[in-house]
Structure 1
């Protein structure tokens, strides 16, 4: 494995963008003391830290205390920007149009029989009876996806952040390849789970696109950004940033997209690079 000291870092790092699960968080979903200290030191040095995750805003409690200054996090793979200083209030949404969502559901039902779906709205998640949710949500509606996506009047429903598609038998990468080939012209497909669980967003929506917009608002160039990730949903972000690190536990697609490799999420791989950035200032 390539060490964290090999790839060059930007002459000036102004922003650190990091994924959460499998990257910043340990496998037990906690932050190590070393990582907490590194994040705080980066902020103190004037480097903005953005959490960029597939998680919805309601699952950001694990890191909300560690977003300082700006308070913003990019959630749902770029479909939303949340203000963690305001209990996760969404300040920007890049929705998946319901017509495209329905088309994606129909195509995947035909292409991969046995697929079950969940619908992540700005107001919460709802899912089909066969869908295995990560966390049971007492407020969720359980119904077929077509009903969950139905609107009485166009524009009357809450915006759709993403649709999740689960298959009980396919391999994760095989399911992703099939979905992109079958419906890649109508929506964006990616994955971040070790299971065959796909995340479907609006066409062109990605972590990289929303991060690029946030950086442009701040006058920060890609060459001034260091990014971290571990899964296919991080590939665009790792490719976009001036310097990027795949974790030692990363998916091959993330390893191929990054400019360097650091240690695993359980070995403080992100903190190690942040410490190196700060030592060079």
Structure 2
């Protein structure tokens, strides 16, 4: 199995795959390797995959909270937490950082505070704006709770929110330059969901190659038999992971895949290779 993060790993700032990476991913699939994208993105932000890949396959979204089948537009599994767990966290973070803004993802909608600016990726039909205590119904399952504080130093804000949350929810972040904190079900990581999904397919961790670049990828890279941090990724991740792939701008994932396929699956590797694309 090949498990890969998206943004900063195989997708650039333009949300596009590089041609060499697309070829390497296709060659891996031709070799019988299961390709699974494991991303912090919610399922509604997967349009770059549909636009560029013939076979998207199953995607693990929202930092492991949702297993999504794009072909059937169906949730195969989810790990959510209750509104009663989210609201006290919001209160405690806001007490320490009064200007923090919050957004909550459910399986069906997006709930945001007034003033939470939306990017093109956040422009969806069902956005419910207003105090989350009012817009979230008590029985709703929360996929992800986000907190941000514009102008704050990102590492400090993430560290303090993690201390405030104190294990009640899983806390991570995936955008190095932004003071944005992502919170999920307690104990949730990309690794936990990937491990369960791989086990359902009869795939052991030793048979998994994984790529990522940010702290929300760290557990996945440590769990996989072959975990690679992108060389241009977050310094904390690069320092913690034994293997390093070349940077995204040098088609790092493609380079590692090409070398692996040439060694283990030469027939499937075909003409894909570094010399053909320089």
TM-score by length of 1: 0.88
Corresponding residue number in structure 1 for 2:166: 184
2:257 corresponds to 1:274: yes
TM-superposed deviation, 1:148 = 2.6
The residue number in structure 2 matching 1:120 is 105
**Partner residue of 1:224?**
207
The one of 6, 20, 30 aligned to 2:16: 30
Equivalent-residue separation in structure 2 for 1:105 and 1:187 (angstroms):
11
* 1:183-210 Cα distance to aligned partner (Å, 9 max, x none): 1321011111120011110101110000
Q: In 2, distance between residues paired with 1:133 and 1:256?
A: 33
Match of residue 161, structure 1, among 117, 125, 143: 143
Q: TM-score, normalized by length of structure 2?
A: 0.89
* Separation (CA, whole Å) in 2 of partners of 1:67 and 1:255: 31
Mapped to 1, the partners of 2:101 and 2:55 lie a distance apart of: 38
Of 134, 146, 161, which aligns to 1:147?
134
The question of whether the paired residues in 2 share the 8 Å contact of 1:238 and 1:257 is answered with no
Q: Is the 8 A contact 2:100 2:147 kept in 1?
A: yes
Partners of 1:67 and 1:56 lie apart in 2 by 20
Which among 105, 121, 124 is matched to residue 90 of structure 2?
105
Q: Please, which of 78, 83, 92 is the counterpart of residue 64 of structure 2?
A: 78
C-alpha offsets along residues 27-83 of structure 1, whole Å, 9 cap, x if unaligned? 2210111111111100110111110000011111211353738x2100000000000
Q: Deviations over 1:224-246 (max 9, x none)?
A: 11111111111111111111111
Is 2:225 aligned against 1:265? no
1:242 maps to 225
Residue 37 of structure 2 corresponds to which residue in structure 1? 51
Secondary structure at the residue paired with 2:128? Answer: coil
Distance in 2, matches of 1:252 and 1:177, equals 16
| Mapped partners of 1:215, 1:129: distance in 2 | 40
- Quote how far apart the aligned CAs of 1:84 are: 1.4
Q: Secondary structure at the match of 2:98?
A: coil
What's the offset of the Cα at 1:136? 3.0
Match in the other structure for 2:78:
93
For 1:188 and 1:268, the matched residues in 2 are separated by 31
Asked if residue 137 in structure 1 is aligned to residue 119 in structure 2, the reply is no
Q: What is the total number of aligned residue pairs between the two structures?
A: 260
Contact kept, 8 Å, 2:111 with 2:136, in 1: the verdict is no
Q: Aligned equivalents of 2:225 and 2:54: distance in 1?
A: 22
Matched position secondary structure for 1:63 = helix
Structure 2 unaligned segments of length 5 or more: list them: 265-278
Root-mean-square deviation over aligned CA pairs: 1.5
In structure 1, the gaps of 5 or more residues are 1-14
Distance 1:184 1:221 in 2: 32
- Cα deviation 1:116-153 (Å, max 9, x = unaligned): 001111013121112223333343111012123232xx
